[in-house]
Structures are given as C-alpha cells and as structure tokens.
Structure 1
Amino acid sequence: MELNLDQIPREKTLTKKEFLRKYFQPQKPVVIEQFIEDWPAYSKWNLDYMKEIAGEKIVPLYDDRPVKHDEGFNEPHAQMKMKDYVDLLQSEPTKYRIFLWNVLKEVPELQKDFTYPDFGLRLMKGLPMLFFGGSNSHTFMHYDIDLANIFHFHFEGRKQCILFSQSETKFLYKIPHSLITREDIDFANPDLEKWPALKHAKGHVAHLEHGNVLYIPEGYWHHMKYITPGFSMSLRAIARRPRNFGKAIYNIMFMRHFDNLMRRLKGQKWIDWKNERAIVRTHNMVFQK
C-alpha cells in the first residue's frame, strides 16, 4: 500500500482574483507553472550562480539525524562555505541541506532578481528564505511555527512535495509539543504496517521543476524531498484564519519555550517520552472506539 495522495492541481498561470477564489479562500494547494518568467532570477538563479555570488558566505547545514535534547531550536548540524557546499551538491549525494537562509540578510543584491508578487495577501518582505538540498535529501514532515501561507518558488533541480492539511494531524504520528511527526517515518516510502494510522490520511503530492511556484495553505504539513540537487525560495504571508493565527502565537510565545525548558530539565528522557506518546496518542485517536 501507498499513501493516499492526490496530485496537486497545476495551473499555467493565475490572476489574483482566480487565486483567491479557487485556492486561498478554500485553503487548497496549487502549483503555478509559469508565473516568474519575468524575474531576472528565472534565468540567472542556478547553483553555479549562487556559488559565484555567495561563494565565501558560511552557510548553516542540516541533515536528517533525529532531534537530540541538547540541540537548540533549528540549530545547524554543520557549516561550510557556499562554494564548497555547491561543489558537494554537484559531485555526490549528500543529506546536508540549507534551511531558512535569509536572502536579504546574507546576500542583499539577490533581492534585485525578484519582486514580491501580488497574490492578494500581504507578504512578509523581510523574510525571503532560501532552501537547498542534494539528491535524495529530505526534510522531516513538519509544519511551520507561524502557520503562514507559503509561496515556494523552485529553481534548479526537481523536488517532490507531500502535503497534509491540519485536519489530517491525528493520523500523522505528531510529536507532542513540537512541529514534526515521528522522524523515523519515511514519507516518501512509508512502512504502513509499522505506521498503520497513515493508511487513513489523505494528502497531496506534486513534483516541482524550475520556475514552478507551490502554494502551501496555512499550517499545512509538508515533506520536501530533493530528487536532484537544487534550491527554492519561500515567501510567506501571515495566517489569516483566527484559529491558525492563535496557534501561531501559542507556538511562538509558549510551546517552543516550554519544550526547550523540558529538554534542559529532563534531557533525552523528554525526547523519548514524546516519541512514545506520538504512537500512543495517534493509535488511541484512530483505532480505539
């Protein structure tokens, strides 16, 4: 058996009115195939260009090792110069990814290569973030701490994106007091005998190529797998639905601080307890009458 995933709708292009009516208001994902062809970035941005313009920058790197109690929130696992990282991406498979790399802060001149599109939502202009990955590297299934509306612009390479709405959370083995699912679930090829609740989850999938834009609605879970080396940029707009906005405030103001406190007080026992509770809670919700 495989996950129950629908192909995300694809549109050649969309007007603001069409996007708001067909996708934002009902909170449905969409891939827009031809939206950024007038950006200089469309023709300029590739790995070689990033190596040229940002080669001496030290970049934070993340892999798929499980969360440890003594690691801080979003703390990188390694770092190297961008030019060396691009060489690594182009020479061999690597699990190292760049995550939440702020274009404005790190390489301000890159802002000349794109504009903030008018989707009818107010984009947060201080937070254009780049994400890089090597062949077969992937993120854990997660949702963003602020439950934002995300516009994910893909550049070089091919990427598989699996999405679930918050309504499917009860099937996903969510870790308590966190934004991730069990890290030992391979959402690209899950063992549905080991994780039987996933059989009930209904999600979405798309493959992104150069120039594609993926709209990820508020609070959607997402798992990103790089089929080939490449990178993307995300722009975001604040959650508009009151329930999601309230969750975002709770996550930022309380949840992450409580989790960090419990890591310091209980160490690895806290992580182990959360991992076990993810299974118990999920199976209780799904299978117990």
Structure 2
Amino acid sequence: MAQPAGPVARHSGVSRERFQQDIYPLRKPAVLKGIDLGTCTTKWTVDYLSQTAGTKEVKIHVSTVPQMDFLSKNFVYRTLPFDVFVRRAAEVKHNEYFISEDEKYYLRSLGEDPRKDIADIRKQFPSLAEDIQIPEYFEKEQFFSSVFRISSAGLQLWTHYDIMDNFLIQITGKKRVILYNPRDAPYLYLSGTKSEVLNVDNPDLEKYPLFMKARRYECSLEAGDVLFIPDMMGNILLSAGDE
C-alpha cells in the first residue's frame, strides 16, 4: 500500500467566496458537504431514472470482474437502452446478461460524436439535468464538461488523472476515493494518463516496487457530497453505490 498523505479535509456549507479564498488556493482535494444540489438527491431512484430518461441507447463498459483495467481492456463495450441499463446496474445477479450473471456495468456519458462533442448532461440527458444544480464555484465560461456516470455497486475504476480541476458529485450511493499527489507521478507507473497499478490496496511490489513511495489521500463520499479534485491529481474511484 502507498504511504498515507493525510485525510481529505471536509467542509460544510461552503460559499463561493469561501471556496475561492480558502479552499481552491491550497490545491488539495476537499469534500464539500451540505451543498444544495437540487432535487436529484431525492428524485434519482432506479424507477425515476429509468422512467425519465427512457429508452435512449447508451454505450457501457461490461466486466466480469469488479476491478476494471483500461490498459489491459478487461471489459467489453456494449449498448443498452438506458432504462434497461439502470435496472441491470442495480442488480447483483442478472437474469439477462452479456457475459456472466454477476457482470458489472459502468456508464460514462459521451457526446453524440465522442471525437468532437464534450460530455454535457444538459445535452445528453436534458430531462435529468433539470434536477441537478451544479455548484457555481467558478465562472460559467470556465465550465468545460459534465460527465454523467452510473456504475454497479462494488465497481472499481482504473487509476488515472485528469488535466482539469474536477468536482465529483455523489448523488446516490457511496463511493470510496483514493487520490495521489501529482508530485508522486514517477511512482505510479503511468502509461499515458492511466496507471499500471490496479490493486492499490495490495499492489504487486515485486513488479511495482516504487509504488510504496506514492502518498495517498483517501475519503468516503456519501450521497450529497461533492469532492473537489485539483487538476493532475491521480485518482482511483472505488464505487460502493449506484452512482
């Protein structure tokens, strides 16, 4: 396991002014609690999501194991109507499936043309976008994309980093998040923006001996929490809920 870097700070009722003055300049991850996210926190049940977004076709990741690895591609891409996908993602065992009855699902929304269009929940899922209020901690012109994600419970995504500041908004369920300081990138065995180290809790130290030097931040997100992730901070998302 990597070296602990300390707990992720938690803040309640953060105003835009406080975020800009006291939190953002530190360039450290922070959990923001008590933010008004709109009606999504009460509305977004399996029934509501499937009925509201309907039969729109979505491209999803399907894996027979809970740890998805982007580098080895231990998953396949499949297409399902959104309502069918949401119900399957909420199941532990499936009566209908692609590979196995306990397969895991992951949706990361894309633009209509993934090569040109950015992910924007307001365009891809307008009926659901009405329910969510994205925290306005930055100017509107600084806003780049809003990626809508849903996963099966217990799914783990690959370790990766993003080149922009992010807000991870947890609407329903719970999520365990592990992050690494950008200064420790030399210890993460990166291939492009992805790390070769998949099992961060029990890494193969014979294969990845430098990984022990990487300092990790860890936090648990509850429904309604918002995690600020500074750009370039390597992160791995361990989902323990519906989204």
TM-score range, shorter chain: 0.7 to 0.9
Matches of 1:19 and 1:26, distance apart in 2: 10
Q: 1:97 to 1:77 in 2, by over 3 A?
A: same
Matched position secondary structure for 1:186: coil
Alpha-carbon offset, residue 224 of structure 1: 0.5
Alpha-carbon offset, residue 94 of structure 1: 3.6
Alignment root-mean-square deviation, CA? 2.4
Matches of 2:69 and 2:79, distance apart in 1: 15
Question: What is the aligned partner in structure 1 of residue 122 from structure 2?
Answer: 104
Q: How many pairs are equivalent? A: 219
Question: What is the aligned partner in structure 2 of residue 272 from structure 1?
Answer: none
**Which aligned pairs between 1:226-241 and structure 2 lie closer than 5 A?**
226-228=239-241, 230-231=242-243
Instruction: Give the letter for the 1:154 counterpart.
Output: Q
Alpha-carbon offset, residue 54 of structure 1: 1.5
Question: What is the aligned partner in structure 2 of residue 56 from structure 1?
Answer: 55
Q: 1:159 aligns with which of 175, 179, 188?
A: 175
Question: What is the aligned partner in structure 2 of residue 22 from structure 1?
Answer: 22
TM-score, normalised on structure 2? 0.80
Deviation per CA, 1:39-72, whole angstroms, max 9, x where unpaired? 1222212333211112301111124255369xxx
Contact 1:47–1:156, Cα closer than 8 Å, also in 2: no
Q: 1:90 to 1:117 in 2, by over 3 A?
A: closer
Question: What is the aligned partner in structure 1 of residue 229 from structure 2?
Answer: 216
Alpha-carbon offset, residue 153 of structure 1: 0.8
Which blocks of at least 5 consecutive residues in structure 2 are unaligned?
93-101, 111-119
Which blocks of at least 5 consecutive residues in structure 1 are unaligned?
70-74, 232-289
Q: 1:133 aligns with which of 135, 142, 151?
A: 151
Higher helix share: 1
Q: 1:203 aligns with which of 216, 222, 225?
A: 216
Q: 1:180 aligns with which of 194, 208, 212?
A: 194
Instruction: Give the letter for the 2:42 counterpart.
Output: S
Matches of 2:144 and 2:80, distance apart in 1: 25
Q: 1:221 to 1:2 in 2, by over 3 A?
A: closer
Instruction: Give the letter for the 1:8 counterpart.
Output: V
Matches of 2:233 and 2:219, distance apart in 1: 14
Deviation per CA, 1:172-217, whole angstroms, max 9, x where unpaired? 0111xx11011x5212443445422121111211111110000001
Alpha-carbon offset, residue 3 of structure 1: 4.5
Moved over 6 A (4+): none
Matched position secondary structure for 2:88: helix
Question: What is the aligned partner in structure 2 of residue 250 from structure 1?
Answer: none
Question: What is the aligned partner in structure 1 of residue 77 from structure 2?
Answer: 77
